[in-house]
Structure 1
Amino acid sequence: MVRRNDQRRAALVDAAIEVLAREGARGLTFRAVDAEAGVPVGTASNYFSHRDDLLIQTGARVYERLQPDPSEFERLRAAERDRELYRQAMHGVVGRVGGFRAGYLALLELRLEATRRPGLRTLLTEQVRGDLEANIAYHEASRLPGDALTVKLLYLALNWLIVEQLTLPDVLSRSEREQLVDAAVERLMGEWPDAPDTP
């Protein structure tokens, strides 16, 4: 029996992310993952029972790596709630997610594959829904202006902005993308008091 370890598995899944981003779903084979990870041929097939297993674990890993550092949440919790804080937070999201280019492109490939693979669709649906619900809960607990619909609209707007940035970066300049984030916050958050109301 092959000895499996968590570090090797993570390295293989990280390699799968790179292959997906570069080659697309059709290029994601066990052999391609082995080559990307720099391990002997046959290693990936010892860690993943079939291709769907590899796809599902790759999807989970992308979301794991996209999570913000817990210290960022602490910083936001401690800061005064105002327009500038929220604007910076949204720019931070676009920067963090867009900065993991391979992960986001791999995620787009996984979303397309999910239209044909029910197990992968279930995983991605649960993950995205869970993240969205967590964002809504955080927003409500923070007493920020806007409601659940506002969070969903920002989620959709910023995600497509990231897709545009990573796939067709010359459609909008960097400054235009930054202006769009600012405008989304301004328009979707509505009237924002200069200082938060005291509870």
Structure 2
Amino acid sequence: MPSRQEVLLDAAITVLGSEGSRRLTHRAVDAAAGLPSGSASNYFKTREALVNAMAARFVAREQATWAALTALVTPRTPAELVVALAAFVRRAVGPDRVLTVARYGLFVEAALHPEAHQALAESAREIRRFGAQWLRAVGMPDPEEMCELILDQMDGMILHQLAYPDPTLDVERRLAFLCRV
């Protein structure tokens, strides 16, 4: 069972992902968490403290997701890799849309808050390690460099699909091009 602090941080992530950065207030977090007014400010005295704690909570959730994903899915060929990555993109812009929007909102916040930046940068390095393992397993040359390129391209596709949804986007074709399938 999540702690009260985790409930507040998960609510803050939901507020950011569904209502945007301007609506991310202690009061909005309290309401989203279903807790009495003042609960969030008891734990996080300032908005910066809230953002930094959100970044840390987001990182923990994101790393758990990637660890679970890499434990469940083990692509053995570039084609299988493309299928797994395309499924990730579709999930990010579909069922996980609020979480994904919150992720990009945290990227913007991290540009202004060094502590949040540090947490997200370390998480990105960890995710790239997970991804490089997949690329190494399917025989891709220079897996670290390719992983960075592929993840950056996926971020771009996801961001564009969030901002300008294109139902005709052929995610597999684009990823296959990158993965040389």
Of the three residues 76, 83, 93, the one matched with 1:88 is 83
Alpha carbons 1:16, 1:28 under 8 Å: kept: yes
* TM-score, structure 1 normalization: 0.77
Cα distance change on mapping 1:73 and 1:128 into 2, 3 Å? closer
CA distance, structure 2, for counterparts of residue 9 and residue 57 of structure 1: 9
Instruction: Tell me the amino acid that sits aligned with residue 63 of structure 1.
Output: V
Q: What is the CA-CA distance between 1:32 and the residue it aligns to? A: 0.8
The number of equivalent residue pairs is: 177
Instruction: Tell me the amino acid that sits aligned with residue 8 of structure 2.
Output: L
Alpha carbons 2:70, 2:130 under 8 Å: kept: no
Whichever of the two has the greater Rg, that structure is: 1
Deviation per CA, 1:173-196: give whole Å up to 9, x if none. Answer: 244334323333236xxxxxxxxx
1:25 equivalent in structure 2: 21
1:176 equivalent in structure 2: 170
CA distance, structure 2, for counterparts of residue 28 and residue 68 of structure 1: 26
1:157 equivalent in structure 2: 153
SS for the counterpart of 1:116 is: coil
CA distance, structure 2, for counterparts of residue 129 and residue 40 of structure 1: 37
1:97 equivalent in structure 2: 92
Alpha carbons 2:56, 2:116 under 8 Å: kept: no
CA distance, structure 2, for counterparts of residue 55 and residue 115 of structure 1: 12
Q: What is the CA-CA distance between 1:161 and the residue it aligns to? A: 0.4
Q: What value does the CA root-mean-square deviation take over the aligned residues?
A: 2.3
CA distance, structure 2, for counterparts of residue 164 and residue 116 of structure 1: 23
Of the three residues 119, 122, 128, the one matched with 1:123 is 119
CA distance, structure 2, for counterparts of residue 156 and residue 120 of structure 1: 20
CA distance, structure 2, for counterparts of residue 35 and residue 158 of structure 1: 33
| The 10-residue stretch of structure 1 (55-64 or 108-117) with the greater mean CA deviation from structure 2 | 55-64
SS for the counterpart of 2:170 is: helix
* TM-score, structure 2 normalization: 0.83
Q: Where does structure 2 lack aligned partners over 5 or more consecutive residues? A: none
Q: Where does structure 1 lack aligned partners over 5 or more consecutive residues? A: 188-199
Instruction: Tell me the amino acid that sits aligned with residue 134 of structure 1.
Output: F
Cα distance change on mapping 1:109 and 1:185 into 2, 3 Å? same
Cα distance change on mapping 1:144 and 1:13 into 2, 3 Å? same
CA distance, structure 1, for counterparts of residue 29 and residue 20 of structure 2: 12
| The 10-residue stretch of structure 1 (57-66 or 19-28) with the greater mean CA deviation from structure 2 | 57-66
Cα distance change on mapping 1:74 and 1:22 into 2, 3 Å? closer
1:45 equivalent in structure 2: 41
Report percent identity of matched pairs: 29
* 4+ residue segments displaced more than 6 Å: none
Deviation per CA, 1:54-97: give whole Å up to 9, x if none. Answer: 11221233333332462x434434x6x22331122211321343
Instruction: Tell me the amino acid that sits aligned with residue 173 of structure 1.
Output: P
